[in-house]
Amino acid sequence: MFLLELAGTDDAFAAYEAASAASRVTVRGGGVATARGITDRVSQLALTHRVSELLGTAAPDLDSARALLEAASFDRSGSVAVRARDIRGATGVSTQAVERALGSVLVDRGFTVDLDDPDHELRAVFAGPPSTTEWDGDGIELAPDAGEEGICALGWLAVEPERDFTDRAPTDRPFFQPGSMDPSLARALVNVAGARPDARVLDPMCGTGGLLLEASRVGSAVVGVDALAKMVRGTRENLAAARADAFDVCRGDARRLPLEADAFDAVVVDAPYGRQTKVSADSLAALLRDALAEARRVAPRAVVVGDRPWAGVAREAGWTVSAQFKRRVHRSLDRFIHVLDRRR
């Protein structure tokens, strides 16, 4: 079993992304999940801070954590550092006291303490109850015992996914337009869509190419289409600057793609936002319906994000809506995420 420390406050979507690289993901507390197994793709997750080999779980207090560690069996030796975390300050536990107490237990079992470059890092994670109980979609579960008390989980650190998103903000790209998507969300979306090495990913409304950039960074071959020539030029420039290995970008109509059927593994779409366009809501819905019908022709899965729910339009285009999420951006903007699969 593995312990997942989730990023942000939207446990449902973070766990859903984690399920693209792990099996049997179960939310156990606010910001904490477990997984039955993991793949090497966990290193590419955007909404998981750390992955550890789970030692066990207990009540969220120091005495329970100490008792758990004292009873645990493991075949490790050498130097160790204990890192404690009270996620969102939900339990009020003293993380320094936890680190001292658990460190003493490990020293008694023959470990030496090295806070700078340890052979092993023990994670002691304390969390309150899950932030939401609204689970819409398969692939994640809410633990039946996730109640009001919260949880303490101990684990040996195994993987720290890259966290360099803030080092490559959209404004740092050669081509930038206001409203460009945050790279961490873009990475999560392409992971959910199925981006990975040897996959082919299409964005038929690519804009500045943010989704394609993240898909290329996890090893996918990417293709972008946009109706505006300046977006095509800008996306090419951004992908070239990022040294994407395999990409193509062309001008075209998302409703009539010059592409063969089943040419892609996944489609990702950041739909036009109503407040940023001059077209009516009905015209925008018709545009997206036709574009999603074309997307269904060329790929078996799609992820669509927009400033309003598009589930009904997606179903009219022939898709099955496998999961939906609503994420707050700021007071005047929510993003609605839809995971679409072909009907069987």
Using CB atoms within 10 A of its CB, is residue 64 exposed (0-12), middle (13-18) or buried (19+)? middle
Give CA–CA dist 268/258, Å, rounded. 17
Give CA–CA dist 232/156, Å, rounded. 46
Same domain for 255 and 299, yes or no, is yes
The residue range of the domain holding 121 is 2-159
Q: Which residues contact 164 (CB under 8 A, 6 or more apart)?
A: none
Domain count, the chain: 2
Among 144, 159, 174, the domain-final residue is 159
Eight-state DSSP code of residue 164:
-
pLDDT in tens, 181-200: 899 999 999 999 999 999 99
pLDDT of residue 330: 77
Q: Residue 223 — φ and ψ, nearest 5°?
A: -135, 135
Is there a contact between 12 and 325 (Cβ–Cβ < 8 Å)? yes
Among 117, 135, 159, the domain-final residue is 159
Q: Compute the C-alpha angle 158/164/170, nearest 5°.
A: 150
Same domain for 209 and 257, yes or no, is yes
Pairing of strands 266-270, 200-203: parallel
Using CB atoms within 10 A of its CB, is residue 297 exposed (0-12), middle (13-18) or buried (19+)? middle
Same domain for 105 and 187, yes or no, is no
Strand, coil or helix: 232: helix
pLDDT in tens, 274-319: 655 566 778 899 999 999 999 999 999 999 999 999 999 999 999 9
Instruction: Tell me the whole-structure pTM to 2 decimals.
Output: 0.92
Same domain for 246 and 106, yes or no, is no
Same domain for 95 and 219, yes or no, is no
pLDDT by position in tens, the chain (length 344): 999 999 988 899 999 999 999 999 999 999 999 999 999 999 999 999 999 999 999 999 999 999 999 999 999 999 999 999 999 999 999 999 999 999 999 999 999 999 999 999 999 999 998 865 455 545 566 665 555 689 999 999 999 998 787 678 898 899 998 878 899 999 999 999 999 999 999 999 999 999 999 999 999 999 999 999 999 999 999 999 999 989 999 999 999 999 999 999 999 999 988 655 566 778 899 999 999 999 999 999 999 999 999 999 999 999 999 999 998 877 777 889 999 999 75
Same domain for 152 and 172, yes or no, is no
